[in-house]
Amino acid sequence: MPKVNIDRVLHALADPTRRAMLDRLGAGPLPASRLAAPLAITLTAVGQHLRVLEASRLVRTEKVGRVRTCRIETAGLSALEQWIGDRRSLWERRLDRLGAVLAEDDKGE
């Protein structure tokens, strides 16, 4: 599987319209046109958003005949989850050490 670029994922998720599209797809796959319908937006714009979402592996899309069906892909969010996890564990380890030092200080008091 091709690697996921964290920069792309975060940039993709930073836009509220794209997040709305994701949430909509969360209920199940949809053709691009139906994805566009409730958003006050042209189909062209949706197509542009879709390219961004696909590049970040947050959605997968497949064209059959004249209709492009869009569905959630988990790779993007998983990559983000891991990115967060990496940082969180690092920081918490540091805070733990800090806590230990403070406790040691107390003992020495």
Residues near DNA (CB under 7 A) are 11, 14-15, 17, 31-34, 36, 40-45, 47-50, 52, 63-69
Instruction: Give the nearest distance from C-beta 64 to DNA in angstroms.
Output: 7
Which of DNA, a copy of itself, none does residue 58 bind to, with CB < 5 to 8 Å depending on kind?
A: none
Kindly tell me which of 43 and 82 has the beta carbon lying closer to a copy of itself: 82
Which of DNA, a copy of itself, none does residue 84 bind to, with CB < 5 to 8 Å depending on kind?
A: a copy of itself
Sign of CA dihedral 92, 93, 99, 101: negative
Give 56-60 contacts, CB < 8 A, sequence gap 24+.
56/4, 56/5, 56/8, 56/9, 56/11, 56/12, 56/13, 57/2, 57/4, 57/9, 58/9, 58/12, 58/13, 58/18, 58/22, 59/21, 59/22, 59/25
**Positions in the binding site for a copy of itself (CB under 8 A):** 7, 10-11, 13-14, 16, 19, 22-23, 26-28, 72, 74, 77, 80-81, 84, 87-88, 90-91, 94
Kindly tell me which of 28 and 109 has the beta carbon lying closer to a copy of itself: 28
